[in-house]
Structure 1
Amino acid sequence: MVQRFISLLLVCFICQNVLGQNITVDSQSFTPQQLIEDILIDSDCIENVTVTNVVTGNFANGQLSYGYFDGTGTTFPFERGLVMSTGQLFRVPGPNTTLSDDDAPGWDGDNDLEVALNETNTFNATILEFDFTSITSQISFRYLFASEEYQENNSNTCIFSDLFGFLIRPTGSTDPYTNIALVPNSNTPVKVTTVHSGIPGPGGCPPINEQYFGSWNGANTPINFNGQTEILTATATVIPNQSYHVKLVIADEFNARFDSAVFLEAGSFELTRDLGPDRLIQANNALCENETLIVDATIAGNNGYDWFRDGVLVQSDPVGCTNCGTYEITQAGTYNVEINLDGNCGAIGTITVEYAQNPIVFNSTLSECDFDQDGLTTYNLFDGEIGLTNNNQNLGIVNFFLSQSDAEMNINPIQSPTTFENTTQNQIVFALIENISNCTSIAELTLSTSNNSLNIPTLEACDFGDLDGITTFNLDAVSLAIENQIPAGATINFFTNEADALSDANPLPILFENDSPNSQTIYVKVDDGNSCYAIAEVNLVVSFTPEIMEDETIYYCSNTFPETIRIIGGVVNDVPNNYYYQWQLNGQDIEEDTIEIEINDVGTYTVIVTHPNGCSSSRDITVLPSEIPTIGPIDVNGTDNINTVTISALGNGDYEFALDSEDGPYQNDNVFTNITPGFHTVFVRDKNGCGVASEVFSVLGFPKFFTPNGDTQNDFWQLDGVNFQRFPNLQVFIFDRYGKLLVTQDSNSSGWDGTYNGNLSPNTDYWFTANFGDGRTFTGHFALKR
């Protein structure tokens, strides 16, 4: 039992040790020339290999940032090769338990890398540059990118990345470099931010080119980086026998933190022959059924070609063969070609080919309506698409053709398939149909005709608004009228003319406003599936609508209550007896149905005038209250010609004012100024016609002189604006300049004649005091002139 337990422990230890093995690195055993020529390339077909420049970090311990790596016996995808890092080489091997995070004094970035990748601010650039010559037109090598910037479930992965590039151009050229370290089938540089799986949480990001991301690395990973890509291939097209310059460069960006590395597989720098893009269903470029593809691997020279499908030799063309180097692919698989170049070295090429199924299509019939029953009409051939494809949304019609042969060769398509006019009854046209893989099939479309009759009543609508013969018709009424005459589930559309109906062009809205006054004919089309069931005329008639007066506002004089006033329905341009009437007061029906009614209530009266055809018009008659005014106190402020008279008018009306004449002129202001002394009459009139009220008032004043000479002009002096009725207790006392009382007058006095005790008073000034008997007094002086 003890022996078995020890054996089990030993087995577990061995398993753990194998699984936990890490790659090893070596910066001393190989010169840069050997790393490039003997490790990376290792081929006699690549000539004139010369390393021209090397840049590494100047570390105090003498470490380099590049060197040889060996992954034999580990889980790392490459057994051996060249590694370049942005940190010290000894930090590259696993386990992944420390942060690779180095810097070195004066370790700059690289301008060529920044230009090629359109980036800035690089640091710690490791560079290996070399020249080479190829005898073929294409070279490639395999690589893998790893980085501490890969941080699982951390949004930094979405933001930060170190940079690397494989830059190439003709030797001696000053043209910009071409970067061949790209995401497959794109021009996107490979970086942490362009190749990763999804990052969840705040600041996270969706996966980008996830199919090219290898893994997040745990502690037992054979390299000391948090994540890595899948194995990728860099490919360049070159001119045979011309020297090219390659610059392999990797650098930190923005700062020296979180190092990265790129691993280049030993011996993978190969001559290749481009056989064209893979033909894949996912890429929508797969081959179609019965389609063949001739791939060409021909390279000038006395060469041999061995072709393999899924690793099995399918064709061998020996060295020295003529008219060889091509292969016709007739079935799916991964095809490889090994090219023996003049018996000395080789090149390879590969292509993967998949076959997509041709579309499954169906012969179908498209029925369109035929007005004259001659079997000829106009078709929108695309209306047959549902039947031809069985409504498969992944299929589409390329075009229609008059013959099977034209469809097979995709020539002479029908030029106007949306307005195609058949030339024979039940004519057959041919549809070329493709799927998303661009594979095609042909189906027949038989063109038949039909025209079922529909019983459609005239659609009438009242003419509202301007009564111009234009109104809005609800075409749903037609749909309801024919729903029992058509197949269940049929679709109904309306058009202004027959041509639009046939081609389904410019369908009308359900709420349609006619553009031909008073009447118009439109067309209803009923489709049963993808076929026309019927097209019929729909007659639209704009029904006569009563023409009546506009809304108005009138007034009822409440002072005349219970007298009534008359309001009318207001029909114009016709005999009022031709209509029906309905009256409302404040929105409530009243028992009135006559042309006119007598009313003595205020409010809003609505009259609805209806023609025998059912069309109605209405108008509102707003009746507002008003009344004759009641004149209140009249305020006279001032005497003689300097005064203000304010009239107070009471009542529910809109009033205007006039002085001394009922005929006016009237003013809106109730204030009059500088009225001559004496008696006046004010007239207050209701603007709404409810009457005029008047009142007499007086303005006190006196003559400044009088001339008692018997010529009947100014022979007497007395106050203006007084009489017995207004001032029954008035007493006026007249004094000479010495204060002697000469005369006493009252309201009935005819005035002073200028005498005292029968003698003529002298020409001079005299003074007066008027007592009104209510505490008010009025004083002044005047002159006597003979």
Structure 2
Amino acid sequence: MSWIFNVVWILSQFLSTTLVTQASTILTSSALKPQPPTLQFKYCDPDGDGKIELNLEQISQEALNYYGLDPNDPEAILICNSDGSYVKLNNPSQEPTLEYICQVVGPLTDIAVNDVGDVFVNTFLSIYKMDATDCSYSSVFPVIYGEVLNSLSFDTGGNMYFGFADHSKVYRYDADGLTDPYIWHDFGQGNAGGDFVMVDGKLYISWDDGSFNRLYEVTVDADYNYVSHIDKMELPEGTYGLASEFGSLYGVTIDWLYRIKLDTHTFESVIYNTFGNGDWYGAAGLHEGMILNAALFSSSSDANNNTNPLPPLWTNTQSGQQTIYVRIENETTGEYVIHPVIITVNNTPQLTQPENLMQCSDDEVNTFDLQLVEDELLQNVTESVVVSYHELPEHADSGTDPLPVLFEMDVSQKTIYVRVKNRNNDCYAVTNFQLIVKSSPELAPLVTNRTERSLSQCYITTSGRGYFMLDEMYQQIVMDGNSNYILKYYSSFSDAQNGYNRIPKLFYSDEGSVYEIFVAVTNDDGCTSISNFFLDGNCVKYTLDLGSINFPNFFTPNGDGIHDFWNIYGVSEKLQKETIVTIYDRFGKKIFGFKPYNIIGWDGTYNGRPMPSSDYWFEVATPIGARFTGHFSLKR
């Protein structure tokens, strides 16, 4: 191990000098930094009051990614190449772009950044410190012959870690330079496949177990000493390096940089190696050795004084737009910057759930005007909006594949998703309604004369007026066997279509010369069909024949020989012989039936038992189809 003692003095002098120099420059005012464009966050408020609960931890992280400690030095990842160069990936969390930095020696197997921003690279045999201003470098750490140095990193305390491809030991060199490099931990098997980087107080290692690259999560104590580790997950094959930048963990293979989602154990692609400088062997976040904290405040004075930080979950106190302030501080040096952050909360259109659109049709294809829902849908919307209709909820959310407002469909029911977007911002709301096609009642077709379909049976009132019961045509009109439809009658087809000038179901034959009746039949779904029939005008003749019918208003079947029977009289002998009289009680129960010509009349009994005093109804039916109804009283 004599090689270690040869480099201890070099490392000690180098690291100590660097730390003292950097610590002497402390920024205490954001005014000393050039200001980038103000970071803005825009939200949509679903309830329309202009206020919303915000996750400030997410905003702090994005502000840290955007501003960094130096607005001219935002988030970035350094990647070393097999040809001995290294590049910088700018804005890895937003719109990543690659930038060539330096050519060193080759091949480079890893790259690292310490807690004060110094860049180090290594080959299989040596570690170098870089000067990015002129791409010069100096050898810092030679290794003994036969060892294959393949990993290099710093923790947030400035301690250096390095590992080899041919054994399971990880070495550390402390930031104070007071001790020799020593074995930090021996994992017993496998070897370092990549870096050792810090994220949220944990040390993460890409470890080659001989078959796969595994992600080890190492718990360390306050002095960064090993405590324990767990095997977190399998990494993509060939993950030779890890990088952390502003709280995010990244992995790198020879041709791919990806983000590691620790909470879901998934990977998110960032960028592929198309730069043309060989394979990627290692990576380092430009600020991964630093501890940068970001906190949000309601005023710039609170941010400067580091007092009254806003809680992790916070609701804006000013509706519409409000400015808060982020303080980004290097925990090691005390350097900090303050930047405004604009929070804008726009109202989401407040939609009213529309009624479903329904059509009554028996056609195979039906056309709906989707815009018919808009009066109801937008009755509480005050903003200028754009309305679009979609077949799928995901299309409504993305605003893609809108439907034509005159929409044709060949099914009986369909869900339509409607998106209403504010014209002045990206806020939108989505709801849905149904398109429903219901079947109309199946009716007999329209006819042109009374010989095809007519109502001939009529009735006579006690005053001698003849009338038709139009509902008696139900069975001839309704063809699908349903007995629960609603029938309404009109004297013309247009009236039936529009529901105008409805005529009563009991239609008197002396009320004009209407002989064609149009009937609108409506089912339980509200669908209506129209048919027609004719009236037989002979009801007027029947009225004349029956106009002389008389009957007693009461009778007293008590055996005294006076009014003991009830019968009609005044009918011609010819009609009387064939006329049938039926008597009912007040509940509609048939009590007695007879031909008035054959018997003296009803004696007031039912099956030989006397009926009680009450009102009774009768119907007179003649052989020519005329009917006459009335009522009388039985008194005892």
Normalising by structure 2, report the TM-score: 0.30
Normalising by structure 1, report the TM-score: 0.25
